[in-house]
Amino acid sequence: MSTPGRDTRERLLATAEELFATRGIDAVSVRDITEAADANTASINYHFGTKRGLIEAIVERRAEALGRRRAELLDELEGTQPVDLRSVTRAMVLPTAELVHDDPSGRYYVSFLSALGDHPELMPVLDAFEPSTDRYLGALARATPQLSEPVRVLRFAVAKDVANRVLGQTNGPLHVWIERHGIRLDDAVGSVVDMLVGIFTAPVSVPSGV
């Protein structure tokens, strides 16, 4: 791909990521993206094929880097016994927080991931995270032996959604609501880790009739 082609592709990715994050996926058309990116209307089709192909490319654009950072944090925990749940939870939260803090556009990516949660039909595009997710779930299993796999996976799904919404949607409904009640998240990472540790250590209810 020529340099102008690479530049156009990157511009489309960055523009779409921001628009999807701030407006929602359904509210953004291909024309909205190409106009904001100063690209011709055929450029989406040329570079990505479809709007879904564009969404897949946005996910893949940062998934490897996030997975690599998470792997570094998990490497530090290898061989430790017992496995510290707080450290494992931090390994999920910290890479996301670092992306938001270190990259001016990182917040858009994390908020975009939250927006994907409203579209079950798009969940397969998150398969780009599967290698790092599988390893993370293995570490989480060692830190939460009291949980069955179905309970653990459900709580993990809730936990990563909470982390994305708190860390990525800094102007989103959750932050607006707590600020209206006079609350400031001065330590968002610590607050999120505390919350998620609580989720993973919450007791499991006994089914009625047992």
**Which CATH number covers residue 106?**
1.10.357.10
Q: Of 51, 43, 192, give the one whose Cα is nearest residue 119.
A: 51
Would residue 139 count as lying in a domain? yes
Cβ neighbour number for residue 162 with a 10 Å cutoff? 17
| Whole-number Å distance between alpha carbons of 135 and 127 | 14
| Whole-number Å distance between alpha carbons of 192 and 199 | 11
Would residue 72 count as lying in a domain? yes
Q: What is the pLDDT of residue 30?
A: 95
Q: Of 80, 78, 114, give the one whose Cα is nearest residue 96.
A: 114
**Mean pLDDT for all residues in the chain:** 90
Would residue 168 count as lying in a domain? yes
Q: Which domain holds residue 151?
A: 61-201
Would residue 192 count as lying in a domain? yes
| Whole-number Å distance between alpha carbons of 118 and 68 | 26
Would residue 46 count as lying in a domain? no
Q: What is the pLDDT of residue 208?
A: 58
Would residue 173 count as lying in a domain? yes
Q: What is the pLDDT of residue 136?
A: 95
Would residue 89 count as lying in a domain? yes
| Whole-number Å distance between alpha carbons of 152 and 199 | 10
Residues of the chain predicted below pLDDT 50? 210
Would residue 40 count as lying in a domain? no
Q: What is the pLDDT of residue 2?
A: 54
Tokens found for residue 84: 């510290």
Q: How many folded domains does the chain comprise?
A: 1
Buried b / exposed e across 186-203, counting CB within 10 Å, b at 16+?
eebbeebbeebbeebeee
Q: Give the three-class secondary structure for 182.
A: coil
Total-model pTM = 0.86
